[in-house]
Amino acid sequence: MKKITPIIEKAYEVAKEAMKNSYSPYSRFAVGAAIKFKGDDTLYPGCNVENISYGGTICAERSAIVSRVSQKGKGEVEFAVVLANTENPTYPCAMCLQVLCEFTKEDFPIFMGNPTKLTKTMSFREFLPHSFDTLEEGQK
């Protein structure tokens, strides 16, 4: 486990609060996230928002990203926190990794856990060492 600094502790609390807002009547699997972007002190919360047309469901990580981009435009992820009610870490899904990748230049840590504690840290590139991209640096 990477060192838990005060800002990570704060993000953990933000993710925990977001998890309480999870709209997940179909899976009954609540997920909360918090994402910090470089040069921005705001911690963006996200929760999963499900839909009766299941494919319309939005994961917690993507909802946090969309919140940041809606408020301040594109940015670079500094770290992310993902929580669920599971003893073992809940890993970000592949679609969320691809979306996180869109706002990533350097590798960053992803902290995982549950409402009691953080249980694991992994780096983004451990999850996704190579990723689909068609644009060169500076084109985005």
The catalytic residues are 61
Cβ at position 14, least distance to ligand THU in Å: 15
For residue 22, give the amino acid letter. S
The binding site for ligand THU (CB under 6 A) comprises 24, 27, 29, 31, 48, 50, 57, 59-61, 92-93, 96
Alpha helices for 58-120 (secondary structure H): 60-72, 94-102
Of 24 and 131, nearer to ligand THU (C-beta) is 24
Q: How far is the CB of 29 from ligand THU (least distance, A)?
A: 4
Residue 77 Cβ, how far from ligand THU at the closest point, in Å? 15
Query: Is the CB of 8 or the CB of 110 nearer to ligand THU?
Result: 110
Contact 82, 15 (CB under 8 A): yes
Where are any strands of DSSP class E within 29-107?
31-37, 43-47, 77-84
